[in-house]
A and B are shown apart, each in its own frame.
Chain A
Amino acid sequence: MSAGRLMRVFPGVALMFGIGILGKLIEQSIDVIGKAHGWHLPKIEYVLWAILLGLLIRNLRVVPRMCDPGIATYDFWLKAGIVLLGTRFLLGDIAKLGPLVLALVVIEILFSIAVMTLIGRWFGLGGKLTSLLAVGSGICGVSAIIATEGAIEAEEKDAALAIAVILAVGAVALFLFPFFGHVLHMPDQWFGVWAGLAVDNTAEATAAGAIFSDAAAKTAVLVKTTRNAMIGFVVLAYAVYWANKGMAKRIERRGRFLWEKFPKFVLGFLAVSVAASAHAFSKGELASLANLSRWAFLITFAGVGLRTDIRAMMKQGTRPLLVGLLGELLIAASTLTMVAVASAFA
């Protein structure tokens, strides 16, 4: 990357880092004040502070435009953080959780797509907009919508609308999921499975897990990453569906298409996990890698708040937003039932 490009992203990255540090300081200060006075103050993780501060700053409209290119890199920090998190997953853990997670993910994807399609039709949304919303809620939010937009030749305004709806629903979910998780006294691992299955965007799913607990975040990332890995298959299915209707071009080389859509950071995550499973790292090195992953997530969480423009989301119209919220409500309830059943048998 050239020096010019680095300079362009620097202000936004510095802003995200500063907000993250401030979130961390607020968490520590509340802890110190509570201990000094013998008060039992609620433990609110830096994650929530970073998101709330970012949200506040964005919606007070005080973020200079020169920060926007840097804020857009939140996705890079998220993926780098997930790759580094691979050190905390031994292949044995993945193999143990894998089949159950995979089964739950497949059921969730099919259910979410069916629910969103039905509600979209019920509310009279266009076919392609409904497809984009279904993929966004079934798989992984923004990346899935962008991948599908090209494959089914959807209009750009429909993709922008679907992204706005999925981000709005994700923003609500990342606060409500940890709340209900605590109300229902969910164990860390099962809350992580629920958040990974039902929260729409990877950053929001990771944040929802991290607001609940560190262990829940770890599981949420694994489940959400499994959902992300399915992106190619679902986008291909939609491309075939719209091509059969004569409303999108046919995909000739399906193997290449699947590889192009596959999220490559999942390979990095698995490679790091293989190295950790082969005992390639000492205890100190593992601690450093885990801490670096936390720093990357800290920047991501500030970015999640900073790119959430509530007014811009509300401008998108009520019907698509209602479809998104109603669909997410049904998906949250059904995945919670799936998790309850799975935990009873696991």
Chain B
Amino acid sequence: MNQIGVPASRLSTDWWAVIAAFAATILIKLGVLHVGW
């Protein structure tokens, strides 16, 4: 198991982080997501 509870042989935390960041980027690009601070 890796650190986010996914079997390490299938997908590493690195790839999950890239997928999550890309998904958020697409949502922001589509205007669905606006993030303040």
Contact = CB atoms under 8 A, between A and B. Distances in A.
A284 B13 CA distance: 29
Nearest to B37: A291
Interface of B: 3-6, 12-18, 20-22, 24-25, 28-29, 33-37
Interface in A51-73: 69, 72-73
Contact of A1 (B6, B22, B29, B34): B6
Interface string A82-102: 111000000000000000000
Interface residues of A, number: 34
Main SS of the interface on chain B? helix
A8 B13 contact: no
A285 B17 contact: no
A239 B11 CA distance: 24
Given A288-B28, A288-B33, A291-B35, A263 B6 contact: no
Interface string A75-117: 1111110111000000000000000000000000000000000
B21 A264 contact: no
12 contacts: A1-B4, A5-B4, A9-B4, A80-B20, A84-B21, A267-B18, A268-B18, A272-B21, A281-B29, A291-B35, A291-B36, A292-B24
Contacts of A268: 14, 17-18, 21-22
A295 interface: yes
A5 B20 CA distance: 16
Contacts of A291: 35-37
A258 interface: no
A263 B37 contact: no
